[in-house]
């Protein structure tokens, strides 16, 4: 357990109550979020805002998701202890930490080397045992699949077929689907070899899912 101030704990408790007020009622997810010190995932400039229910910039032009969004995606995944989950878009690593707190085996892919390195260093130092990959999430990570859950934390107009095929039968894939300005949170539940039930769960805004790997420090989006 990471040492942290009484103040940070108090602020986090208030954030959790705020999420309850916004209709998040899954206590397992709220408890997991209450255990993750979100301020450790934020850039110094935004530290004092760590427990606001907002997305904030992290390095490489990316964002740490809004806590409400993290709660919604985690609830939709509906995973249990020891399930295998693949995350596309490690970013700050916050969502991966919340999933690890749920007792899930987390595999997470990031396309930007700098973020991949930062998240891996931070989460490993916090004691999380998560599998990190630098790669293109469009390909997934078939050698560790199939997964009980796949969570895409970047916007895409089309869900890659390769990812749907890496789901177990009975598995769930959560994705913000749409164009640049807004996306619809979409849940694919795999019912059979080629049978997916699709449901939608409100509008959100994510940074785009892009192809290829970024190795340098270029401020690409």
| Catalytic machinery residues | 65
153 contacts ligand SAH (rule: CB under 6 A) = yes
109 contacts ligand SAH (rule: CB under 6 A) = yes
37 contacts ligand SAH (rule: CB under 6 A) = no
- Chain positions 69 to 88 lying near ligand SAH, rule: CB under 6 A, are 88
112 contacts ligand SAH (rule: CB under 6 A) = yes
22: left (phi over 0), alpha (psi -120 to 50) or beta: alpha
What is the pattern of x (binds ligand SAH, CB under 6 A) and - over residues 85-104? ---xx-xx-xx---------
207 contacts ligand SAH (rule: CB under 6 A) = yes
Q: How far is the CB of 221 from ligand SAH (least distance, A)?
A: 8
110 contacts ligand SAH (rule: CB under 6 A) = yes
User: Which is closer to ligand SAH, CB of 147 or CB of 192?
Assistant: 147
User: Which is closer to ligand SAH, CB of 152 or CB of 187?
Assistant: 152
Q: How far is the CB of 193 from ligand SAH (least distance, A)?
A: 25
Q: What is the dihedral of CA 207, 209, 213, 217, to 10 degrees?
A: -10
Tokens of 141: 């990570």
128 contacts ligand SAH (rule: CB under 6 A) = no
User: Which is closer to ligand SAH, CB of 170 or CB of 179?
Assistant: 179
- Per-residue HEC secondary structure of the chain comes to CCCCCHHHHHHHHHHHHHHHHCCCCCHHHHHHHHHCCHHHHCCHHHHHHCCCCCCEECHHHCEECCHHHHHHHHHHHCCCCCCEEEEECCCCCHHHHHHHHCCCEEEEEECEHHHHHHHHHHHHHCCCCCEEEECCHHHCCHHHCCEEEEEECCEECCCCHHHHCCEEEEEEEEEEEECCCCEEEEEEEEEECCEEEEEEEEEECCCECCCCCECCCCCCC
Q: CA-CA distance, 15 to 209, in Å (whole number)? A: 28
Which range in 5-13, 21-29, 108-116, 171-179 contacts ligand SAH by CB under 6 A? 108-116
210 contacts ligand SAH (rule: CB under 6 A) = yes
38 contacts ligand SAH (rule: CB under 6 A) = no
Q: How far is the CB of 154 from ligand SAH (least distance, A)?
A: 4
Q: What is the binding site for ligand SAH (CB under 6 A)?
A: 62-65, 88-89, 91-92, 94-95, 109-112, 115, 136-138, 153-154, 207, 209-211
């Amino acid at each position: 357990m990471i040492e942290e101030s009484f103040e940070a704990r108090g602020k986090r408790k208030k954030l959790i109550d705020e999420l309850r007020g916004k209709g998040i009622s899954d206590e397992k997810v709220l408890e997991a979020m209450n255990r993750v010190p979100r301020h450790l995932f934020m850039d110094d400039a935004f530290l004092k805002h760590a427990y606001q229910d907002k997305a904030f910039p992290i390095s490489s032009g990316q964002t740490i998701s809004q806590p409400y969004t993290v709660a919604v995606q985690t609830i939709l995944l509906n995973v249990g202890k020891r399930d295998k989950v693949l995350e596309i878009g490690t970013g700050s690593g916050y969502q991966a930490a919340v999933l690890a707190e749920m007792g899930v085996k987390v595999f997470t892919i990031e396309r930007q080397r700098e973020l991949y390195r930062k998240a891996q260093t931070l989460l490993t130092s916090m004691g999380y045992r998560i599998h990190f990959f630098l790669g293109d999430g469009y390909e997934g990570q078939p050698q560790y699949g199939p997964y009980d859950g796949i969570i895409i934390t970047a916007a895409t107009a089309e869900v890659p077929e390769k990812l749907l095929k890496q789901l177990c039968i009975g598995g769930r894939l959560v994705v913000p689907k749409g164009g640049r300005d807004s996306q619809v949170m979409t849940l694919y539940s795999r019912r059979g070899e080629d049978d997916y039930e699709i449901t939608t769960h409100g509008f959100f805004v994510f940074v785009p899912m892009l192809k290829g790997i970024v190795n340098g420090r270029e401020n690409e989006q």
